[in-house]
Every structure is written in C-alpha cells, then in structure tokens.
Amino acid sequence: MATFKACVRSQRSDGLFAVLIRVTHNRVARYINTDKTVDKSKLRKGEIKDPEILSYCSNLIKLYSDRLNAVDISSWDTNEVVSYLQHIDEDISFSKYARKYVLEMATVRGMVRNAKNYRWAYQSLERFAESENIMFSKLTTKFIQDWISSLASTNRAKEMYPTCIRMIYNAALEEYNDYDKNIIRIKLQPFRKISIPKADVPEKRALDIDILKRFFTGEIPESNLKVSLPELSRDVAEMVFCLAGMNTADIFELRKENLREGVLCYHRLKTKKFRRDGAYLEIKIPSRILYLFEKYKSDNEYLLNFNKRYQDGNCFNVNVNNGLKSYCKYNELPDICIYNFRHSWATIAQNNCGASTAEVGFALNHASAHRVTEGYIKKDYSPISMLNNKVIEYVFGEY
C-alpha cells in the first residue's frame, strides 16, 4: 500500500518552500505538487509545523488514500500511482480526442473517405454545443439526445452522425478507462440509453431508359478546351454505367496493373478494409467503351489520366457531378448525378435482364449475406461481365 507524507524539498528563489505530498510505493518515492507554500518560519528541522497547511495536506492525503483503496495497485509502480491520483478527476476534451481519432483514421488506417464522415459528425456536435472544445462531462444522455433531435429533418445524418460519435466515444472509453483496475476517467456512458434513429430509405435513383438514351446521345457544349468538364463527365458516366456501376473513386484509382488481358481486377475502395475478400472484383471492359480507355490513357502508373487533373477521388467525383449539371442543362435533361448510373444499371439488370437480386449485388460488389458459404467457393467473376453485356445490349443494342 502506498504511504503519504506532507513535506518540502529545496527552497525557491523567492525564499519560500513548495509544499509537496511524498508518495512512497514499493519503497520508491515520487512527489505531487500542491498549491501551498511555507516560509522558513513554518518549518522545524525541515518538517512542516503550520497547522493550516498540515490540515490541508491531511485532507488531501485522506482523499488520495480513499481513491487508492478503490483500486488494486499491487501491480502498479509509483509513477502509475501518481499519474492516477493526478488525473483521475481531470476532465478530458472530447473535441481534442475526436480530432486525434479522425486524423489517425485518415493517416494511420488509410480510411480517408470514412474519416470525412466522422469529421462532419463531430463538427455537427460542436455547432450544436456552440463550442469547439466539448468536454466528455458535457456529453450527458440528455445533451446527446437533444443533438440527435436537432438532426431529425436530415435524411442520413440523423443516423450516420450519432453512429460516428458513438464509435469515437467507445474508443475513448477503451483508451481512458481501465475496468480491471477500476480506473474510470470517463464516467458517463450516454449511448447506453439512446436509440439512434434509422436513416430515411433513399429515393430510388434509377433513370428511365429513354432518359439514359437521351443522355448518352446528347451534345457536348462548345468549349476551347481539349476535353471540357461536361465532356469528361459524360465520358465518366458512360464508364460507370458500362462497368456495372463502378464507382468513380475506383475508376480514379485504377493502376495499369489492374488491367489484365482486357479485364479490370481491383478492390473496391469503399469496403475493401472491412471485408475478408478485400471487396475484390473482376470485370471485362466492354468494347463500347474501349475508346474511352484510349482517350484517357495515362502516361504514369495510373491506368487513366484523371489524377493529372484532380488531386484525389473525392475531388474527381465532385467535379464530375458539376460537369453533369452543365451537360444536362445544355441537353435539357433532368438533374443527374453520377450515382444515378449505378442505380440505373442495377435496376435494368434485374427488371429487364432477368438477374436476381443476389446476382446484381455480386456485380455491384456488395457484401454477400452468405459469408460462410462463400468461404467454400472459389469465385468465378465472368458472370458479372456476361450480365453487364446484357444490360449494355438492352440499352444500346450493342456491347
């Protein structure tokens, strides 16, 4: 068991002595500063004799003893004892922890896209709190519930943001609380009593086939640029649709090594870190869009040259969607975003080409509901290309 004693050590330049609490554990001593000082007249043979200082230190020592009696310190060294006593009541900044968590998510774990969602989540919480430094003690059940209620009018954020905050909060509980040693620095657990609402079911974003045909036969607005943004966006949309709804992020990140004898072999960025199969997929490039791969051929390790124009996949996606707005306005088409083409491909594959939901999910690289069974099967990806050809032929009469 640790022992305590009020003491002083060296005299300061102002002639006073700082009052310390000496902590001795397993015959090793360390010192904890107090905010008290004494002059030489209050000392006798180096011992404190001031009644008020001794009373203060006695109460502090009792507090320390009570705290240590609540935990098992038999395996601790003296530094751990002192650290525990100094920090047990110190409130922790949730905002600072959230920033560190998101930074590590983006840089150490390489989850850049997900990190943005987490950043938006804690920024939303800070806006609600009207503070950029929210402490963990602020995050009561009522406060969190009120914040969630403020998101009620959103479609997706009301589920995504609280889920992200809960993940950050639970990570902090694991880091700061040691339940085996009964060290509880974060005392609140607000999410135990909170039910996070479900996001609204998204509106079906598949385009009618006549709209698709009008889109792909539209005219490119005149421009002095070799390849204008509307033209690039229209080309990327055709790539997405004719590659079974391939995401723009995956198109952007394709390397030359991902192309093997006319087949794209890649891992889906969005989910590769969460799936045992790495979200791997193979699809043959249809003859209809071979010219686009030649048109945007890269002269570096990338398969396509979009990285010369945009710094990353997110920037690429934003600009493609902006180009689509101009293209659709010029051709008097309804507003269309790049994700419409993924939804359209899936809808046509099932409704017009006889594919099952499982077959569509496989082509879209969604996680399978039959994970155990999949562990027994060596996958054949050729049915994806065959289904893709059916969709292209149905819409364009060729593939």
- The answer to whether residue 167 scores a pLDDT higher than 60 is yes
C-beta separation of 2 from 73 below 8 A: yes
The answer to whether residues 169 and 315 belong to one domain is no
In this prediction the pTM is 0.60
Residue 44: inside a domain: yes
Q: Is residue 204 part of a domain?
A: no
Residue 257 placed within a domain: yes
CATH number where 168 lies: 1.10.150
Both 218 and 329 in one domain: the answer is yes
Q: Are 173 and 314 in contact (CB under 8 A)?
A: no
My answer on whether 225 and 83 are in the same domain is: no
Q: Are residues 75 and 109 in the same domain?
A: no
User: Which residue, 70, 87, 104, sits at the end of a domain?
Assistant: 87
Q: Would you say 70 and 178 are in contact if contact means Cβ atoms under 8 Å apart?
A: no
The reply to whether 364 and 239 lie within a common domain is yes
Which residues are within 8 A (CB) of 52 and not within 5 positions of it... i.e. 6 or more apart? none
Assess whether 263 and 340 both reside in one domain: yes
Domain assignment present for residue 265? The answer is yes
For 67-100, write each residue's pLDDT tens digit.
888 778 888 899 989 988 887 777 889 999 999 9
On whether both 131 and 257 belong to a single domain, the answer is no
CA angle at 229 for the pair 316 and 251, rounded to the nearest 5°: 35
Alpha carbon of residue 238 to chain centroid: 30
- Whether 353 contacts 391, CB under 8 Å: yes
Q: Tell whether 78 and 107 lie within a shared domain.
A: no
The band of 386, judged by pLDDT with boundaries at 50, 70 and 90, is very high
Same domain, 256 and 385: yes
Q: Is 297 helix (H, G, I), strand (E, B) or coil?
A: strand
- Number of separate domains in the chain: 3
- Mean pLDDT value of segment 29-35: 93
Which of 165, 193, 221 marks a domain boundary?
193
Q: For 14-28, 165-179, 199-213, 289-303, which range has the lowest pLDDT when averaged over its residues?
A: 199-213
User: Are 126 and 248 members of one domain?
Assistant: no
pLDDT at 225: 83
Give the structural domain span for 29: 3-87
**pLDDT score of 184:** 82
Does residue 199 fall inside a structural domain? Answer: no
Among 193, 217, 248, the domain boundary falls at 193
Asked if residue 202 is part of any domain, the answer here is no
Same domain, 381 and 290: yes
8 A C-beta contact, residue 176 and residue 186: yes
Tokens of 168: 């950050």
Same domain for 73 and 218: no
pLDDT tens-digit profile of 353-381? 999 999 999 898 887 655 655 555 578 89
C-alpha to C-alpha distance for 172 and 158, rounded to whole angstroms? 22
State in Å, rounded, how far the first CA of the chain is from the last one. 79
